[in-house]
Amino acid sequence: MKNKRGFTLIELLVVIAIIALLMAILMPALQRVKKQTKTVLCRANLKQWGLVWSMYTEENNGKFPDYFGLDWKRKLVDYYSNSEKLLYCPMTTRTQSEGAPARYAIIENGSNRYGSYVINEWVYDSDDTGSGRSLEDYWRTINHKGLNNVPVMADGAWRADGQPYPKDSPPLYDGEPRTGVGTSGDEMRVFCINRHDGAINVLLMDWTVRKIGLKELWTLKWHRNFDTAGPWTIAGNAQPSDWPQWMRNFKDY
């Protein structure tokens, strides 16, 4: 028993240093896995919304609802049982007034919270022609071709709805709000947020969900006459240097 001894101080410090080194190596990987898991859960939420919209349109002769303002989810409450969980991407936990950056923020208006998904206002069966909007641009129903490129709802910030146009400018920084409404609103900024590593999740009108690159947003068919080869696409001759600095390393489309 007299020959037994414990660890020396130097040995303990070496063990602690090794553990600290391993933690430093593993933590970034664990954080990436955590973010990837939340991205998958976000897509699962949107797939559930796809089922909700599918049931709603099936029972309404293929039609979407008319314009219902920020609280569009109330139109669908009978189809999703008012489940709060479906309203939030797992990457979002707080509102901006509570300190969250725009890309991870829950949408708020006064004391009201609207989740963290934004509807594409062009799907509505709407007669709103304010701020230069055209009645010919609304989708109104699911009775169209090419539905796998038409957004219904997606990750978003600032508002619970948005109406992008092909000429909408990208945000100068991640989280810059829109500048107006209608044809002068730059409402693509509502969706152009870096929530999922240079991308957002989007529910399309064929009820599939895809992870869409931020620059790819300008190639989706947001409204019936949306130019998918507009000035912010490769087909429209957009150059990497045309984009704001924070977006230049993202994939071009």
- Cα(5)–Cα(12) distance, integer angstroms: 13
pLDDT of residue 85: 84
Give the per-residue pLDDT at 7.
Answer: 64
The SS3 of residue 95 is: strand
Task: Report DSSP letters for 12-56, one per residue.
Answer: HHHHHHHHHHHHHHHHHHHHHHHHHHHHHHHHHHHHHHHHHHHHH
- Structural domain contains residue 39: yes
Find the distance separating the first CA and the last CA of the chain, reported in whole Å: 73
Q: Tell me, what DSSP letter sits at residue 168?
A: P
* Token pair of 4 as six digits: 């037994």
> What residue numbers bound the domain in which 239 lies?
16-247
- How many domains in the chain? 1
Pairing of strands 209-213, 105-106: unpaired
Alpha carbon distance 86, 241 (integer Å) = 38
Neighbour tally for 5: CB within 10 Å: 6
Low-confidence ranges of the chain (pLDDT < 50): none
Domain membership of residue 2 (yes or no) is no
**For residue 119, what pLDDT is reported?**
95
Residue 69, pLDDT score: 66
Amino acid 30: pLDDT: 62
Identify the pLDDT of residue 70. Answer: 66
In a domain, 8, yes or no: no
Does 152 reside within a domain? yes
Q: What are phi and psi of 94, to 5 degrees?
A: -140, 165
pLDDT of residue 82: 59
7-66 residue pLDDT tens:
677 767 777 877 877 777 766 766 676 778 899 999 999 999 999 999 999 999 999 999
In a domain, 252, yes or no: no
- Residue 1 in any domain: the answer is no
Question: In the prediction, which pLDDT does 46 show?
Answer: 96
